[in-house]
A and B are shown apart, each in its own frame.
Chain A
Amino acid sequence: MKYLILTVFIALLSTSYGQDGKKVQFVGGARSQMSNSSFKSDPSDSTTAPKSTGGYALVDLGIKINPNKSTEILGMFRIRNDFGGFWGSGVTFGVRQLYIRGVAGKVLRYQVGNLDYKLTPYTFYNHNADILTKSVGTMAIKEDIFNYESFYRKNTWRQQGASINFALQFPKVVKEIEFNGFITRMNPTNFADIMERLYGGGNMVITQGKHLTIGLNHVSIFDLAGTALDSNAYSNNVSTLTYDLRFDAKNFKYGVDGESGISSSGLSQAPEDALNDYFLHARTYLNFKKKHLAFDLGYMDNGADFRSFGAQSKRIDYSQQNNFFNRYTNDQILRPVSMYDIYNDPALFSNGIQAGVMDYNPSMNNALPYGIATFNRRGGYLGASYSDSAKIIDASAKYYLLSEIRGQGTTALKSFHYANLDVNFSLSNLMKWKKKVNIHAGLAFQKTTRDGEFTFENVDLTSITVNTGFEVEVIDKLSIMANLFLLQSKGTDQLPVRDANDVIVNYSDFRVDGIESNIAGGLKFAFSEKVYLAAMYEWNKNSFVVDNPYQFRQTSIYYVMKF
């Protein structure tokens, strides 16, 4: 009898999990982390416990159902157990993803529920403005984790709502017109002073042929009047034009692309205080096909009052507190968010956009704190990239020379220099080894200056980020990893202090002279591309709080699986 049951079960599995035409699939991931940390600051600190251990195991189990060829339903649950939990304490259950998507009438693609969505860099886009360099080895493992936790995929933001997409094709003049639309809910009403807030928009992308693509884009954050007692509704509207005019010669491609548009934001009962502005961004590019070499030259002019919070929301909210050793010294001062925290604590990352100007850390990115959509920036940039066909070297470099358009508290304008270099070198591809040997180096340099009539107008802030490392496969599937991360910042700036309506009401003096360094090494055993076990040791030193420098030493074990 038990053999009969087993046979029926296997038969059911084979019908459910067939690789092609499957009706039910299990997708998701599993992860476990254990860490032991020691914290050291002022030797006289007898208040802060110097050691911390912890860990967790979690499973994301998603069931993807295809009731028919044109419909897909995904529901994903998360079960997480913090180590040390007992009889259910420390165990949490939650819904991680839920959506239905499909094609209606073989024409209209739709999705309802969770959306990972983006439009254009100035309308709806998840810029990575806090981590300026790429990573390999131990740092790449951490990036992989917080990107997974926060649903950061190719610059999309996770939203809840609905989206549609369809396209029309034509025999003459225009090749194709594609339409995209979405509507999501940003926050519910409290029936008193907070209205239901929605975020919606879409675009129409016209592909004329092989030379020209034009897009008309519009997004809007808006309060639904009547959903609360308060009737002072907020809105942020952005309309843009995107274009790509390109030509193809025998050995190279060249063209102009970019985005330009207008924005307005404000409250319905204070139209006189509304912010209206526009931006221009254009780029020429030249790609040498055979030499795998590309150059671009760009110009941007983002108005001081240009607001597009779908593209200006930051991944990190710097007004929040750390979750790990958040206070230290006998005075139990707050420990500011550091690069170590950013790489190690996925809880610091935002899962959605925020209607309002967010705080930023000038040491990490002062030139473009809200990405390329940063308001009050004008200037140009020059970029180059090279990637050979054997994938031995993949390198890119970009230099921005920017300034403010409108001064803050003075007519003197801040100038920004920003250089970014990233090189990935594959020794294994060069030597044609089967085992992987990758070496990476990333560098970001920023300098902000302002010279005014009075001494108090002057600012001078310099920041350097270095992120380098290697990953060497020493025996089959087992790699050695080593990384050095360094952030150094020195100088002064004046940061605007804004009120609830984002109006500048004061300035705070920003003075910094600190270094954060993180040296890490470890081993990684890759069972497959999507499953690995890693052990690493890190030594992090931070002197950004001048009177209270501190350091961590941490040993961690990660097990990561995706399926």
Chain B
Amino acid sequence: MKKYGILLLVVSVLFSCRKDEIETSDGPNLTDIYGIFEVVNTLSTSQANVDFAAGQSVHFTSEISIITDWELRITGQTSGAEKIITGTGKIIDASVSTWDGSTTNFPIFQAEVCDVMLTFPGEVDTLYSSVTVDSPKTNAGFVIADFESGWVGGWTSFIQSGGNMDFNIKTDGTAAEQGSYFNMQGIVDWDWLVGLVNFNAVSYGSSTLPLTDNAENLYFNVLIYGQPGLPNSRVLFQFDEDEDQGGTFTAVNEDQFAIEILINWEGWKQVSVKYSDLVGNGAGGGTHNPDRINAINMLHLADPSSGLAKSKLDYIIFTENAALNP
């Protein structure tokens, strides 16, 4: 009998109940996910005017009754630039909706009034607001060309004598950044090269570009326009390094790194590449030395049998630490 008593005691102790958790639950409440969608607080803007160039930012607030996906779309009334911020939740506040002036869909924002629209997939409700950009965001980095000041002395070029040739800086309201861009077009049925531009370091006041020597931390960025219906253009960027710092580049014993981009998209697109990822000719040992670049050659190429090739360039800029956040 004593044995049974011990057994009963052990079982009783072990089976003692834990503190009841009937009033608590894990995770978000189901009513916040599967409940009825309602707007609790409409869309508002933290400030009516924002000066991104001065380092300011703006955020948007709203509250809805359930956790759901949302999309905040900011559209420049003048430029047509777009910034899209998406998220999931029931409260939209500074932690998820802060805008630093950057752009999702080109062109880049200007000083302009912007429409702000908040939508929820699967729901008919759309909330509206607006914000005025007093001055657009500025980007840290070394600008090779934004074409706003016209042709820079020291740049050189070669344009084939084909048909419909147009290698010129234009200001016609279609630039990706500010007002001007570089147009490239032509028919060259005997050669891949349509035209080229050499952005020589001497144009910037030195025999080499004033860049960091850390290739792992340096990004080359360019905005390229793909002409609708003409996916045959390519741009080849060559980076000539003056390894011996003799003032000239010699292809047989100095490094030249390059990137070739097939422009098979439509509209403006940002292309960024870390300088250390560029492939070289190996003539100078293969070490990336961005501080010794003495020229950047931009070659516009197309298959000679493909007819008219057309593209545009804008905002060629080196940035450090990260790719351009336009």
User: A494 within 8 Å of B by Cβ?
Assistant: yes
A280 touches B14 (CB 8 A): yes
Residue of B3, B10, B15, B28 near A506 (CB, 8 A) is B28
Name the CB-closest residue of A to B7.
Answer: A256
Complex Cα spacing A282 to B22, Å = 23
Name the CB-closest residue of A to B16.
Answer: A280
Tally of B interface residues using CB under 8 Å:
26
B15 touches A303 (CB 8 A): no
Within 8 A of A (CB), among B1-54: 3, 6-7, 10-11, 14-18, 21-31, 33-35
Residue of B21, B22, B29, B30 near A494 (CB, 8 A) is B30
A245 touches B10 (CB 8 A): yes
Complex Cα spacing A284 to B14, Å = 12
User: A408 within 8 Å of B by Cβ?
Assistant: yes
Q: How far is the CB of A51 from chain B (nearest CB, A)?
A: 35
Chain A 213-249 interface 0/1 with B at a Cβ cutoff of 8 Å (1 = within)? 0000000000000000000000000000001010100
A506 touches B88 (CB 8 A): yes
Residue of A245, A255, A405 near B18 (CB, 8 A) is A405
A409 touches B27 (CB 8 A): yes
Which of B17, B27, B35, B88 has most A Cβ within 10 Å?
Answer: B27
Which B residues are in CB contact (< 8 Å) with A245? 6-7, 10
Residue of A247, A301, A408 near B26 (CB, 8 A) is A408
Which A residues are in CB contact (< 8 Å) with B23? 411
Chain B 168-206 interface 0/1 with A at a Cβ cutoff of 8 Å (1 = within)? 000000000000000000000000000000000000000
Which A residues are in CB contact (< 8 Å) with B88? 506
Q: How far is the CB of A98 from chain B (nearest CB, A)?
A: 37
B11 touches A407 (CB 8 A): no
3 shortest interchain CB distances as A-B pairs: A504-B27, A456-B34, A409-B30
Which A residues are in CB contact (< 8 Å) with B15? 280, 282, 299
Q: How far is the CB of A20 from chain B (nearest CB, A)?
A: 46
Which A residues are in CB contact (< 8 Å) with B14? 256, 258, 260, 280, 282, 299
Given A303-B18, A405-B18, A507 and B26 contact (CB-CB distance below 8 Å)? no
Q: How far is the CB of B186 from chain A (nearest CB, A)?
A: 40
Which B residues are in CB contact (< 8 Å) with A247? 3
B21 touches A496 (CB 8 A): no
A282 touches B11 (CB 8 A): yes
Which A residues are in CB contact (< 8 Å) with B293? none
User: A317 within 8 Å of B by Cβ?
Assistant: no
B24 touches A411 (CB 8 A): yes
Residue of A243, A299, A303, A506 near B33 (CB, 8 A) is A506
User: A410 within 8 Å of B by Cβ?
Assistant: yes
Given A301-B18, A303-B18, A504 and B10 contact (CB-CB distance below 8 Å)? no
B33 touches A409 (CB 8 A): yes
Chain A 161-181 interface 0/1 with B at a Cβ cutoff of 8 Å (1 = within)? 000000000000000000000
Which B residues are in CB contact (< 8 Å) with A452? 30
Given A454-B30, A456-B34, A506-B33, A411 and B10 contact (CB-CB distance below 8 Å)? no
B67 touches A506 (CB 8 A): yes
Complex Cα spacing A255 to B7, Å = 7
Complex Cα spacing A494 to B34, Å = 11
Name the CB-closest residue of B to A378.
Answer: B18
Complex Cα spacing A496 to B23, Å = 19
Name the CB-closest residue of B to A247.
Answer: B3
A507 touches B22 (CB 8 A): no
B27 touches A284 (CB 8 A): no
Complex Cα spacing A507 to B88, Å = 13
Which B residues are in CB contact (< 8 Å) with A505? 27-28
Complex Cα spacing A454 to B34, Å = 10
Complex Cα spacing A406 to B25, Å = 5
Residue of B3, B7, B33, B35 near A507 (CB, 8 A) is B33
Complex Cα spacing A280 to B16, Å = 9
B18 touches A409 (CB 8 A): no
A409 touches B28 (CB 8 A): yes
B33 touches A496 (CB 8 A): no
Complex Cα spacing A147 to B249, Å = 63
Which A residues are in CB contact (< 8 Å) with B18? 278, 280, 301, 303, 405
User: A341 within 8 Å of B by Cβ?
Assistant: no
Q: How far is the CB of A275 from chain B (nearest CB, A)?
A: 11
Which B residues are in CB contact (< 8 Å) with A407? 24-26
Within 8 A of B (CB), among A444-458: 452, 454, 456-457
Since A258-B14, A496-B26 are in contact, a sample of 14 more A-B pairs with Cβ atoms closer than 8 Å, ordered by chain A residue number, is A245-B7, A245-B10, A256-B14, A280-B18, A282-B11, A282-B15, A284-B11, A376-B26, A409-B26, A411-B25, A454-B31, A457-B30, A504-B28, A506-B33
Within 8 A of B (CB), among A474-513: 494, 496, 503-507
Which A residues are in CB contact (< 8 Å) with B17? 301
Residue of B7, B24, B26 near A504 (CB, 8 A) is B26
A256 touches B3 (CB 8 A): no
User: A304 within 8 Å of B by Cβ?
Assistant: yes
Within 8 A of B (CB), among A499-543: 503-507
Complex Cα spacing A411 to B24, Å = 6
Which A residues are in CB contact (< 8 Å) with B25? 406-411
Complex Cα spacing A278 to B17, Å = 12
Name the CB-closest residue of A to B33.
Answer: A507
CB pairs A–B below 8 angstroms (17 shown): A245-B10, A247-B3, A255-B7, A256-B11, A278-B18, A282-B11, A299-B15, A304-B21, A405-B18, A408-B25, A408-B26, A409-B26, A409-B29, A411-B22, A454-B30, A457-B30, A496-B27
Name the CB-closest residue of A to B10.
Answer: A256
Q: How far is the CB of A534 from chain B (nearest CB, A)?
A: 47
Q: How far is the CB of B93 from chain A (nearest CB, A)?
A: 17
A410 touches B24 (CB 8 A): no
A406 touches B26 (CB 8 A): yes
Which B residues are in CB contact (< 8 Å) with A454? 30-31, 34
Complex Cα spacing A407 to B16, Å = 21
Name the CB-closest residue of B to A504.
Answer: B27
Complex Cα spacing A406 to B22, Å = 7
Within 8 A of B (CB), among A378-412: 405-411
Complex Cα spacing A413 to B88, Å = 26
Which B residues are in CB contact (< 8 Å) with A278? 18
Within 8 A of A (CB), among B82-123: 88
Residue of A256, A282, A406 near B24 (CB, 8 A) is A406
Q: How far is the CB of A43 from chain B (nearest CB, A)?
A: 33
Name the CB-closest residue of B to A509.
Answer: B34
Complex Cα spacing A494 to B25, Å = 14
Which B residues are in CB contact (< 8 Å) with A284? 7, 11
Q: How far is the CB of A449 from chain B (nearest CB, A)?
A: 16
Which B residues are in CB contact (< 8 Å) with A243? 10
Q: How far is the CB of B67 from chain A (nearest CB, A)?
A: 7
Q: How far is the CB of B26 from chain A (nearest CB, A)?
A: 5
A410 touches B6 (CB 8 A): no
Which B residues are in CB contact (< 8 Å) with A504? 26-28
Which B residues are in CB contact (< 8 Å) with A255? 7
Complex Cα spacing A504 to B24, Å = 14
Complex Cα spacing A376 to B18, Å = 12
Complex Cα spacing A185 to B185, Å = 61
Q: How far is the CB of A307 from chain B (nearest CB, A)?
A: 13
Name the CB-closest residue of A to B14.
Answer: A282
Which A residues are in CB contact (< 8 Å) with B10? 243, 245, 256, 282
Which B residues are in CB contact (< 8 Å) with A299? 14-15
Complex Cα spacing A376 to B27, Å = 13
Name the CB-closest residue of B to A498.
Answer: B27
Which A residues are in CB contact (< 8 Å) with B26? 304, 376, 406-409, 496, 504
B28 touches A410 (CB 8 A): no
Complex Cα spacing A506 to B29, Å = 9
B21 touches A406 (CB 8 A): yes
Q: How far is the CB of A306 from chain B (nearest CB, A)?
A: 11
Which B residues are in CB contact (< 8 Å) with A405? 18, 21
Complex Cα spacing A220 to B122, Å = 46
Q: How far is the CB of A357 from chain B (nearest CB, A)?
A: 11
Given A258-B14, A282-B11, A303-B18, A408 and B34 contact (CB-CB distance below 8 Å)? no
